[in-house]
């Protein structure tokens, strides 16, 4: 992992990111399309962080900050590159970003069924908040 590079995504990266998530991420979201990710990068250019290794996309995390809370989404590492510190490096970069923006606590969206992710998040110092249940409503126009 000596040549690991973490950087913010640009609009030119978005097709590769969407393809990467099909291989490396669990589940899908209503906003997992070009238009949704494009809006994210346009609105908050530093939010989508990419890990590159050997010139290839190795991992992603979305580190969104709304001015009040820090939210982590889409922490994904390519299956062939897991357990080598890429996810930890992405989280460290996200947490550094949050600290620089004045954030005080980060939360992560993690699928209940994704036990492998639960282990990774715990190892990074995150704990579940069992008293919360996420409520969602798709917004259609």
Instruction: Determine the structural domain holding residue 28 and report its residue range.
Output: 5-123
The domain total for the chain is 1
Residue 107, strand partner residues = 71
Q: Cα separation of 7 and 11, whole Å?
A: 13
Angle (CA) 61 35 50, round 5°:
20
67 located within any domain: yes
44 located within any domain: yes
What CATH number is attached to the domain comprising 97? 3.40.630.30
75 located within any domain: yes
Reported as a single tens digit per residue, the pLDDT across 16-56 is 999 999 999 876 677 778 899 999 999 999 999 999 999 99
90 located within any domain: yes
137 located within any domain: no
Reported as a single tens digit per residue, the pLDDT across 53-79 is 999 999 999 999 999 999 999 999 999
21 located within any domain: yes
């Amino acid at each position: 992992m000596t040549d690991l590079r973490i950087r913010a995504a640009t609009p030119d990266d978005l097709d590769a990111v969407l393809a990467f998530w099909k291989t490396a991420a669990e589940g899908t979201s209503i906003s997992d399309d070009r238009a949704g990710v494009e809006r994210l990068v346009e609105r908050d250019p530093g939010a989508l962080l990419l890990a590159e290794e050997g010139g290839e996309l190795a991992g992603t995390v979305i580190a969104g900050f709304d001015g009040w809370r820090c939210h982590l989404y889409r922490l994904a590492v390519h299956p062939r590159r897991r357990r080598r510190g890429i996810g930890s490096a992405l989280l460290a970069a996200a947490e550094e970003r949050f600290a620089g923006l004045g954030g005080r606590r980060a939360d992560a969206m993690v699928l209940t069924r994704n036990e492998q992710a639960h282990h990774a998040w715990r190892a990074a110092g995150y704990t579940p908040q069992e008293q919360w249940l996420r409520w969602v409503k798709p917004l259609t126009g």
